[in-house]
Structure 1
Amino acid sequence: MDATFENVENSEAAYDQVEKIKSNDYNHLLAGFWIRLWAYLIDLLVVSSVNRILIYPLFELMGLNNNKSFIFSPVSIATALIFFAYFVLMTKYLNQTLGKMIFGIKVISIKEENISWGTILFREFIGRYISKTIWIGYLIVAFTPKKQALHDIFADTQVIHEKLYILKHNQVKSAE
């Protein structure tokens, strides 16, 4: 039985050693365009499913105007609120949405230890609105050195892989 506890202690020490090495010599790998696109598509599927399961039937039961073509109809406003609430709350409390969880990526702040409410709200409302109206806002992820979309640049955030790392030395070489 002592050998079992010894192995556990050794594995914990090894884990601590690996984490120390990672923090000193490695940076998280940045998430690129394609993985972010797939995560976003899954998020859209989640949000649209919630809207179709909850919002549309609820508005139908209440007999409210269910005219989805009018931008300021009650159902359009409710679905927009669900969309933004999903992205804001998931990013604030978990640093990732369900789509990002599936692909092992998350949002981090470049300037802050934890992402503040101001940063999240700016990123998700203002920045995402700009990126949606100017589709290049999303496409520039493929071309910027830090793999940031327009809303990431405005909010000083990045999307990284949680468990993939790159040597700091290699990043310096590739930047030159």
Structure 2
Amino acid sequence: MERHNDQQHVRETELNQHDEDMANAEAGEDQLVQEDQTQVNTEPMHDHKQRYVLAGIGPRFIAYLLDLLLIGAIFFLTVQPVLYLVGAELYTTETFSAYVILSSLIGYLYFVVMTKIWGQTLGKMIFGLRVVRKDGASLDWGTAFFREAVGKFISKLFGIHLGFIWALFYPKRQAWHDLIGDTYVVMEQEVYKRQYVEV
């Protein structure tokens, strides 16, 4: 009788141990699943890259000429009458004259503000062109300033616009001001061209 009770006690102990082992195993599996899910959820998402078609030199050049005409019209209708009334000398080429300083200021403000807010000037809008950053981020004031003010000032040094001509020979059609601002000029609408960039 005592032997039978001992055997039954041993079996109950083994069953209890087996149940504990099963419970521990299930808990371990749940923990592994949770850890796997945590690893999946915490993996950084890859940034979506967008393809842009590089703008041609011809449309860029004509858009720039249209912008210069627009700036000239703004200056002629707003600033020039004021300079005339105060007796300032008009149409002078002296570097530090009020005429040269104000006309340059209006031009740089136009390019910087339009590029920062809309990513394009009115001339670029007409031809469906846009300025984008090389890293794909949104244009900020620093990028717009260095591209449109500092960069274009350097591109136009000595009056020969060598920095603009550079885009004719550079592989990704970047002028000096594009290289300074880390930007591309691209087409807004998708067209079939052989040369494109990813940002």
Provide TM-score, normalisation by structure 2.
0.67
Separation (CA, whole Å) in 2 of partners of 1:171 and 1:63: 53
Residue 130 in structure 1 maps to residue 154 in structure 2:
yes
CA displacement at 1:65 relative to structure 2: 3.8
Separation (CA, whole Å) in 2 of partners of 1:148 and 1:164: 19
Partner of 2:184: 158
Separation (CA, whole Å) in 2 of partners of 1:155 and 1:37: 19
CA displacement at 1:171 relative to structure 2: 5.2
Residue 38 in structure 1 maps to residue 62 in structure 2:
yes
Separation (CA, whole Å) in 2 of partners of 1:75 and 1:61: 13
Residue 73 in structure 1 maps to residue 111 in structure 2:
no
Separation (CA, whole Å) in 1 of partners of 2:99 and 2:161: 25
Are the counterparts in 2 of residues 91 and 107 from structure 1 also a CA contact under 8 Å? yes
Alignment of 1:111-150 (within 5 A): 111-133=135-157, 135-150=161-176
Cα deviation code 1:76-130 (max 9, x no counterpart): 2111110000000000001000100000001011125111111111111221111
CA displacement at 1:46 relative to structure 2: 0.3
RMSD: 2.2
Separation (CA, whole Å) in 1 of partners of 2:87 and 2:111: 28
Partner of 1:11: none
**Aligned-partner residue type, residue 168 of structure 2:** A
CA displacement at 1:40 relative to structure 2: 0.3
Amino-acid identity (%): 39
Cα distance change on mapping 1:141 and 1:64 into 2, 3 Å: same
Separation (CA, whole Å) in 1 of partners of 2:172 and 2:88: 46
Cα deviation code 1:21-46 (max 9, x no counterpart): xx88x722101211110000000000
Separation (CA, whole Å) in 2 of partners of 1:111 and 1:86: 24
- Rg larger in structure: 2
Separation (CA, whole Å) in 2 of partners of 1:111 and 1:144: 19
Partner of 1:18: none
**Aligned-partner residue type, residue 60 of structure 2:** R
Provide TM-score, normalisation by structure 1.
0.75
Gaps of at least 5 residues in structure 1 are: 1-22
Q: Secondary structure at the match of 1:48?
A: helix
Cα distance change on mapping 1:67 and 1:41 into 2, 3 Å: closer
